[in-house]
């Protein structure tokens, strides 16, 4: 009796699994054409970060570090070139550098108590020792 019930149960499960109609299966969302490349780029950056960390800990010799770093950088360059090729080189507009402002020497700060002048902000006057109120250090 138990054997017959288990056979019917297995047959029912197999029929349920095998008789799934293609129209009942949901369609896959279209994947981005560069999704796998972006994932590979993230992995390479992680590997470079880990390599740098291990080198700083002294686990790698200079030769091994440089060889592995160059290999990862070359692979990253290929991945970035492939991303540019697939996306058609569409990038964000480059940021224009702002013109350099004229470097002005800050006016010396004056102690409100004794009139002493200082190059940088201080909490207390170097001459009289009183608090420089209104001055943030």
The pTM for the full model equals: 0.47
pLDDT in the model for residue 128: 81
Instruction: Return the pLDDT at 137.
Output: 44
Ordered per-residue pLDDT tens for the chain, 137 residues = 999 999 999 999 998 888 877 787 788 877 788 888 999 999 999 999 999 999 999 898 999 999 999 999 999 999 999 999 988 876 544 556 556 555 555 556 788 888 888 777 778 787 787 887 754 44
User: What is d(CA 52, CA 68) in angstroms, rounded to the nearest whole number?
Assistant: 10
pLDDT at position 34 is 85
Q: What is the pLDDT of residue 102?
A: 53
């Amino acid at each position: 009796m138990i054997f017959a019930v288990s056979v019917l149960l297995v047959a029912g499960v197999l029929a349920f699994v095998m008789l799934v109609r293609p129209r009942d299966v949901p369609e896959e969302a279209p994947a981005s054409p560069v999704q796998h490349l972006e994932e590979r780029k993230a992995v390479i950056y992680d590997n470079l970060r880990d390599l740098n960390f291990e080198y700083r800990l002294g686990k790698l010799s200079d030769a091994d570090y440089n060889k592995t770093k160059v290999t990862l950088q070359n692979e990253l360059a290929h991945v970035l070139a492939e991303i540019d090729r697939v996306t058609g080189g569409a990038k964000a507009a480059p940021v224009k550098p702002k013109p350099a402002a004229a470097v002005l020497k800050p006016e010396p700060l004056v102690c409100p108590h004794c009139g002493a002048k200082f190059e940088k902000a201080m909490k207390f006057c170097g001459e009289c020792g009183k608090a420089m109120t209104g001055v943030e250090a």
